[in-house]
Amino acid sequence: MMNYQNEPHGVFFLIDNKSFYASVEAVARGWNPLKISLVVMSEASNTNGGLVLATSPEAKKRYHLQANVSRAREVPQDPQLAVVPPRMNLYIKRNLQINDIFRRFVANEDLMPYSIDESILDLTHSWQLFGKSPRDVAVRIQKTVRRELGLYTTVGIGDNPVQAKLALDLYAKHDTDLIGEIHYSTVPEKIWPVNHLTDVWGIAHRTADHLNRLGIHNMYELAHVDPYELKGEMGLMGQQLYAMAWGIDRSQLNKRRGPKNASLGNSQVLPRDYVKQKEIETVIKEVGEQVASRLRHHHKQAGCVSLGIGFSYAASEADGRGGFHQEMRIAPTDQNGEIVAALIRLFRNNWDGQTVRNVAVYTSRLCASTGLQLNFFEPAQAQIKRAKTDHVVDAIRDRFGFTRLVYASSLQKGGTAIERASLVGGHNGGNAYE
DNA sequence: TCTGGGGTCCTAGGACCC
DNA sequence: TCTGGGGTCCTAGGACCC
Q: What tens digit of pLDDT does each residue of A337-388 get?
A: 999 999 999 999 999 999 999 999 999 999 888 644 444 444 555 555 545 5
- Read off the pLDDT band of A165 (50, 70, 90): very high
Nucleotide nearest to A48 (CA to C1'): B3
Residues at the strand C interface (CB under 7 A)? A 114-118, 169, 200-208, 304, 306, 324-329
> CA(A236)–C1'(C6) in Å?
22
Provide the CA A231 to C1' C5 distance, Å, integer.
Answer: 25
Which nucleotide, over all strands, has the C1' atom closest to the CA of A291? B6
pLDDT bracket for residue A69 (50, 70, 90) = low
Residues of A known to be catalytic: 118
| Residue at the smallest CA–C1' distance to nucleotide B5 | A425
Asked whether the predicted pLDDT for residue A105 surpasses 70, the reply is yes
Question: What local confidence, expressed as pLDDT, does residue A368 receive?
Answer: 86
Amino acid A346 reads L
A144 CA, B5 C1': separation in Å? 32
Q: What is the pLDDT of residue A236?
A: 86
Which domains are present in chain A?
A: 20-86 (3.40.1170.60), 191-245 (1.10.150.20), 264-428 (3.30.1490.100)
Q: How many CA within 13 A on the CB side of residue A396?
A: 24
Pair A198, A205: CB distance under 8 Å: yes
pLDDT at A230: 92
Classify strands A82-84 and A38-42 as parallel, antiparallel or unpaired: parallel
Nearest nt (C1') from A237 Cα = B10
- Please, which positions of strand B sit below 7 A from a protein CB? 1-12
Chain C: bases < 7 Å from a protein Cβ: 10-18
This prediction's pTM = 0.86
| Interatomic CA distance for residues A270 and A284, integer angstroms | 11
- pLDDT at residue A407, rounded to an integer: 23
Cα A41 from Cα A126, distance rounded (Å): 40
Q: How far is CA A90 from CA A20, A22, A24, A267, in A?
A: 11, 12, 8, 22
What percentage of residues in chain A have a pLDDT greater than 90?
64
Least confident of A77-81, A110-114, A155-159, A422-426: A422-426
Mean pLDDT of chain A: 85
Question: What per-residue confidence (pLDDT) applies to A256?
Answer: 57
Query: DSSP states of A247-290 as a string?
Result: T-----GGG--S-SS-EEEEEEEEEEEE--HHHHHHHHHHHHHH
Q: Is the pLDDT of residue A410 over 50?
A: no
Confidence of residue A48 (pLDDT cuts 50, 70, 90): low
As a whole number, mean pLDDT of residues A43-54 equals: 76
Angstrom distance, A140 CA to B1 C1': 41
How far in angstroms lies nucleotide B8's C1' from the CA of residue A398?
A: 13
Q: What is the mean pLDDT of residues A33-59?
A: 85
Closest CA to A357 of A404, A384, A317: A317
pLDDT given at position A427: 72
Using CA atoms, how far apart are residues A193 and A199, in angstroms rounded to an integer? 11
Which residues have C-beta within 8 Å of that of residue A97, sequence separation ≥ 6? A148, A149
Nucleotide nearest to A53 (CA to C1'): B4
Better-predicted residue by pLDDT, A298 or A324: A324
Please compute the mean of the pLDDT values over residues A55-68 and round it to a whole number.
82
Higher pLDDT, A30 or A434: A30
Phi-psi region of A333 (alpha: psi -120 to 50; beta: other; left: phi over 0): beta
Q: Which residue, A298, A407, A282, is CA-closest to A347?
A: A282
Averaged pLDDT, A42-69: 78
pLDDT (0 to 100) of residue A325: 95
Tens of pLDDT, residues A306-322: 999 999 999 999 998 99
Name the closest residue (CA) to the C1' of nucleotide B1. A70
Q: How confident is the model at residue A2 (pLDDT cuts 50, 70, 90)?
A: confident
From the CA of A128 to the C1' of B5: give the distance in Å.
Answer: 41
